[in-house]
A and B are shown apart, each in its own frame.
Chain A
Amino acid sequence: MELFWLAISTIAIGVFGCVAWFWGSNWVLDRILPAKGPNAGDNIRRANQIRPWLFLGPAIVFLGMYLVYPVFDSLWRSLFNSNGTRFVGADNYAWLLSDGKFRESMLNNMLWLLFVPAASTAFGLLAAQLTDRIRWGNIGKSLIFMPMAISFVGAGVIWKFIYEYRASGEAQIGLLNWIVTQMGAEPQIWLSLPFWNNFFLMIVLVWIQTGFAMVILSAALRGIPEETVEAAILDGASPLQVFFKIKVPQIMGTIAVVWTTITIVVLKVFDIVFVMTNGQWGTQVLANLMYDWMFRGTPDYGRGSAIAIVLMILVTPIMVWNIWNARKEVR
């Protein structure tokens, strides 16, 4: 109950504080530079120069403190030893290159990058195309979209249950092993199966992200001009040809957006690996490796920061591409 009041009062203070800031600072500005009197014109001009920064102020402070500054601080810290007392130059990065776990993580991240966006986009496209053509399409869409609302940890529990293993001969309570034994094969401990266990983790993320891809691609498909499709059909194109040669090329831009958005999610993937295997059996990924170095018995902030910077470098091309597109649009 105490917690409840703490939360309520924080909301009140937070909201009140925000309102007080925006309202108060505007009021002060209007007092200092009144829009009347002898200098009215001058005052209005000067007030209009200042006012945007009052509106933007809190956002800029937060973005600066919580996102911009940390990037540079991490970069700086990655040049220091484990507790930040000694400058070590590029030692942490040299260590990364020689570390087996890091190479494993990089390799796995690449696998994730290839598989998850491709599979999610493909399934999303399929789901969009199918659900747009049936009467109960909206219900179908909702159900495919639903995993979006489930936490990665929750999804981890859900899928771990599916991969659950019981010794051969016992009743299989994991769906996958049950299907496998029904077909006459031996049950497997899927999550420690070398190499393939990565894919069993990736499937969880594909399951979550497909709905996102479907929603966006479905809107794009519906935006395709009807005439182009009709013209193709009149010319005798088969449904498959219409789909791949007429529709897909027209939504290429949207596919790219979906692909890059999922790529970002993939690069940051942490929870799924953390709760399902914790990077054992060859499933380590960068984000989990970083967490590992940050929270082990004696944390190594230098190495942790170096791994974080590697992640930052990996997202940079997408960041630049996004900004490029956004600026094109603004103009």
Chain B
Amino acid sequence: MEGMAGQKSSLGWAVNIAAFLLVLLWTIPTLGLFVSSFRDRDQIAQSGWWQSFSGSEQTGFVRSGTEGALQDGVWVIEGSVTADGEQLVAWGTSAREPGAHAPGDTVEIDEGIDITVADDGSYRMVSDTEFDMRRGERIFVTTSSPPSFTTDNYSRVLSATGLGRAFMNTMTVTIPATVIPIMIAAFAAYALAWMQFPGRALLTAAVVGLLVVPLQVALIPLLRMHNEMGIGKGYLGIWLAHTGFGLPLAVYLLRNYMVGLPREIIESARVDGATDFQIFRRIILPLSFPALASFAIFQFLWVWNDLLVATVFLGNTREQLVMTGLLRELMGSRGGEWEILATSAFISIAVPLAVFFAMQKYLVRGLLAGSVKGG
């Protein structure tokens, strides 16, 4: 944007602020989930996650003890109205005015009975005569607790909801479903890019066409085909299905990349007597690493995040659920328990996010190879 140098200073601030707002808008939803996964159930229900950094105020009451002790000629009951980590803000003795008094005040609640609640939350009830109460006196307190976060949700979710099992299932589905199509597609892409045979243009066009075929079309026929072949529902079926569904993109991306490799290298290898198999293995495959990586990431993210193929081809029992399936089930059965939902969701998106941030370069490269050329 050197050409814009003149406007840069005046527009600079506006652009920075606008960009910041946009980024904020796109980040906040995920951040909310992330923060909530570290708050306990009560905190989530009592205040929005955006208020969790400033601490929260609660109002409630505690009952004093009933047995006084004789000290220096007066009867005294002592105790504390706050729990560890809480700070007393205000207190009172009636439900109508729960915050009527400041910490340190002394108030007469009954004839001859005084009560003092100190800053640290300790109270002291003093009476000239022996206490005669069946139930303790109610002391209303408003306390503030500092921002507090916990990892309890994670240990709870991992042990109780079956997420550990689902995590393994997702892994089991994803890795073979990522590796196998790459092998098959690389050979096909090489043939489409560098071998001469009738029907090559037609096949290339067919691959481009198959890129957009909706999965929905394939569900019913494939389910029946798998049943007839005796594969039924299971890992083999889902691996095969993901391989089939991922192939068009794989072949397309790899072919586009391989076509761009320098012709001279391949021609001179041919002249030197290398067979196609040798050219593929020694020259094309190593040079195509970026494209292979791009596709591997696409396929990994797509399979890991998929819900539809997994529900149809793997089944819905607890032992078979992948993480997206489990998350969906939790949304139904634990709809209001946000601490569980937020934590489970975050665990399920942690791996793709890590892959995304680590391999972003290849992802972007793959996207560009896949789309810009088409225009």
Contact = CB atoms under 8 A, between A and B. Distances in A.
B179 interface: yes
Contacts of A43: none
Contact of A67 (B45, B218, B308): B218
A182 to B, nearest CB: 10
Given A59-B187, A157-B342, A315 B353 contact: no
Given A63-B207, A215-B367, A15 B180 contact: yes
Interface string B7-26: 10001000110111011001
B210 A68 contact: yes
B275 interface: yes
Contacts of B363: 148
Contacts of B200: 52
B214 A140 contact: no
B116 interface: no
Nearest to A69: B221
A215 B187 contact: no
A51 B192 CA distance: 12
Interface residues of B, number: 118
Nearest to B20: A140
Interface string B182-222: 01110110111001110011011111111111111111111
Interface in B306-326: 306-308, 312, 324
A264 B345 contact: no
B54 interface: no
A133 B11 CA distance: 10
A268 B33 contact: no
Interface string B45-82: 11111100000000000000000000000000000000
B185 A59 contact: yes
Contacts of A329: 373-374
B50 A175 contact: yes
A58 B47 contact: no
Contacts of A70: 217-218, 220-222
B176 A7 contact: yes
Interface stretch (A97-105, A111-119, A319-327): A319-327
B368 A287 contact: no
A144 B214 contact: no
- Interface of A: prevailing SS: helix
A9 to B, nearest CB: 10
B274 to A, nearest CB: 12
A89 interface: no
Interface in A283-331: 286-287, 290-291, 294, 301, 304-305, 307-309, 311-312, 315, 318-320, 322-323, 325-327, 329-330
Interface string A124-157: 0011001111100100101111111111111011
B331 A160 contact: yes
Contacts of A143: 23, 26-27
A248 interface: no
A18 interface: yes
- Interface of B: prevailing SS: helix
Q: Which 10 A-B pairs have the closest CB atoms?
A: A66-B244, A151-B305, A59-B188, A253-B375, A149-B356, A73-B221, A55-B191, A70-B218, A70-B221, A18-B183
Given A156-B331, A161-B338, 20 more contacts: A11-B176, A22-B187, A56-B203, A67-B218, A70-B222, A77-B220, A145-B364, A149-B305, A154-B348, A173-B49, A220-B372, A239-B4, A268-B216, A274-B328, A275-B331, A304-B219, A308-B219, A311-B216, A319-B209, A319-B213
Interface of A: 3-4, 6-7, 10-11, 14-15, 18-19, 22-23, 26, 30, 48-49, 51-53, 55-56, 58-60, 62-63, 65-71, 73-74, 77, 123, 126-127, 130-134, 137, 140, 142-154, 156-162, 164, 171-175, 178, 207, 210-212, 215-216, 219-220, 226, 229-230, 233, 239, 253-254, 256-258, 261, 264, 267-268, 270-271, 274-275, 286-287, 290-291, 294, 301, 304-305, 307-309, 311-312, 315, 318-320, 322-323, 325-327, 329-330
13 contacts: A4-B168, A7-B172, A10-B239, A56-B188, A56-B192, A65-B225, A67-B244, A149-B301, A153-B327, A157-B33, A173-B49, A291-B216, A291-B308
Interface of B: 1-4, 6-7, 11, 15-16, 18-20, 22-23, 26-30, 32-33, 36, 44-50, 168-169, 171-172, 175-176, 179-180, 183-185, 187-188, 190-192, 195-197, 200-201, 203-222, 225, 235-236, 239-241, 243-245, 247-248, 251, 275-277, 280, 301, 304-308, 312, 324, 327-328, 331, 338, 341-342, 345, 348-349, 352-353, 355-357, 360, 363-364, 367-368, 371-375
